[in-house]
Structure 1
Amino acid sequence: MSLLVRPNRSGSAIETFGFEFLGFKTLRLDPGRSIEEDTAGRELGIVLLGGTCAVRSSAGDFPSVGGRADVFSGLPHTLYLPIQTRFTLTATTPCDIAFCYSKAEQRHAAALVTPSDVRVEIRGGANATRQINHMIQPGFPAHR
């Protein structure tokens, strides 16, 4: 039995991973391309790995999310969307996007986390040093 999950061309569906509470997928969109989705019973963190997009949702509209070129070019923008939210995400530049899902029952307000909101923590040392970027921190108004 292998624990390795290989993505298909369109990315891996979150159900593929076998997690009960968490889900994750990545997507690359060309400018002008859109996706439509419903968060249903999951809250969602949309992390812009690179590029800029616009998000129209039943929880609010966010006309400009993102802006960095790639993951090595500064801190990310993250958009939190609550449960039961229909949304359309449209790339305004080439976009690499991470979708981070968590099963939830409570509804909270949608929120945009900007780079100035991100807390940076350095862990380890020498050749084991790493930077942790806390986009959705403890105390953030979300269910999980």
Structure 2
Amino acid sequence: MPNLKVKPNGTNGRVTHVTPENAGWTYVGFDLHRLKPGETAAGETGDREVCLVWVSGKGKAKAGTKDFGTLGERMSPFEGSPHALYIPMESTWSVTAETDLELAVCSAPGGGTYEAKAIPPGTHPALARGKGTNVRYVNNIMPEDDSSAHSLLVVEVITPGGHTSSYPPHKHDQDDLPNESFLEETYYHRLNPPQGFGFQRVYTDDRSLDEVMVLEDGDVTLVPKGYHPCAACHGYDLYYLNVMAGPKRIWKFHNAREHEWLLKA
């Protein structure tokens, strides 16, 4: 199995590149571009669909023959909700940075007759989940009740310092609907302040997979299967951008039985 933690490669251009081939799985792809003003990232979707997420900064976007103008307004992923842009299969896209820009490219197998569309902040309501030191703040970008995509599920979460997230531990690695869905998942992590660190554990019931990773600013973690809780250390808020995809566009998870009592505490 490939290393489950992917470090950024450099500080400019495409610094992260996760594909089904190099991840050793089937569905999810994730790229991260860091651009200076005037620089451009571009691509062709082929047989995949794409969701571009303006993690921070502003940039002019085109998809196919459509000009979407300038998207993005926050200068940090810890400041408000994101702009995003969905692009269907068999299309092209380009984004030219107007400020320093951090652009995520989330991808999965395409299908259907979907159209390119902008996803501005406020398209889906911001949510708070959990209680006590398990509270975290959720911005849905492409949730399952948004029927404008074939495979992609995209969401970002901010976990305050000292809190846990993706917790109690849950998994979605069985194609067993209506009980559980199979979804591969990537986490793109940022820390505020950036010198901080957090932790993520990815493990299965039989512990055939059991890996604990230190999370630093800019790391990507892969979740091919198993439970995958995160913890943010005191004083450092943890942001992550999730991309999920599988054979069906449904997020149905299974909680670790030994920790389910926490939901009733």
TM-score, normalising length from structure 2? 0.51
Closer/same/farther in 2, CA of residues 77 and 31 from structure 1, 3 Å limit: same
Q: State the match for 2:75 in structure 1.
A: 69
User: Deviation of residue 19 (structure 1)?
Assistant: 2.8
1:28 aligns with 2:34: yes
Closer/same/farther in 2, CA of residues 88 and 139 from structure 1, 3 Å limit: closer
Task: Name the CA distance, whole Å, in 2 between partners of 1:134 and 1:32.
Answer: 29
Q: State the match for 1:99 in structure 2.
A: 105
For residue 85 of structure 1, the aligned residue among 87, 91, 116 is 91
Task: Name the CA distance, whole Å, in 2 between partners of 1:136 and 1:70.
Answer: 20
Q: State the match for 1:6 in structure 2.
A: 7
Q: State the match for 2:146 in structure 1.
A: 139
Listed one character per residue, the Cα deviations across residues 87-120 of structure 1 (whole Å, up to 9, x for unaligned) are: 2210011101111111122231111111121321
Task: Name the CA distance, whole Å, in 2 between partners of 1:19 and 1:114.
Answer: 31
Task: Name the CA distance, whole Å, in 2 between partners of 1:88 and 1:3.
Answer: 29
Q: Which has the larger radius of gyration?
A: 2
Listed one character per residue, the Cα deviations across residues 57-95 of structure 1 (whole Å, up to 9, x for unaligned) are: 215111111111111111101110111111221001110
Listed one character per residue, the Cα deviations across residues 28-80 of structure 1 (whole Å, up to 9, x for unaligned) are: 10000012210111111111111111112215111111111111111101110
Q: After superposing the two structures, state which structure 1 stretch, 52-61 or 35-44, moved more.
A: 52-61
Task: Name the CA distance, whole Å, in 1 between partners of 2:29 and 2:85.
Answer: 16
Amino acid at match of 2:41: I
1:43 aligns with 2:44: no
Count of aligned positions? 144
Q: After superposing the two structures, state which structure 1 stretch, 131-140 or 91-100, moved more.
A: 131-140
Higher relative contact order (CA 8 A, sep 6+): 1
Aligned identity (percent) is: 28
Structure 2: unaligned runs, 5 residues or longer: 152-265
SS of the residue 1:116 aligns to? coil
Q: CA RMSD in A?
A: 1.6
Task: Name the CA distance, whole Å, in 2 between partners of 1:66 and 1:19.
Answer: 31
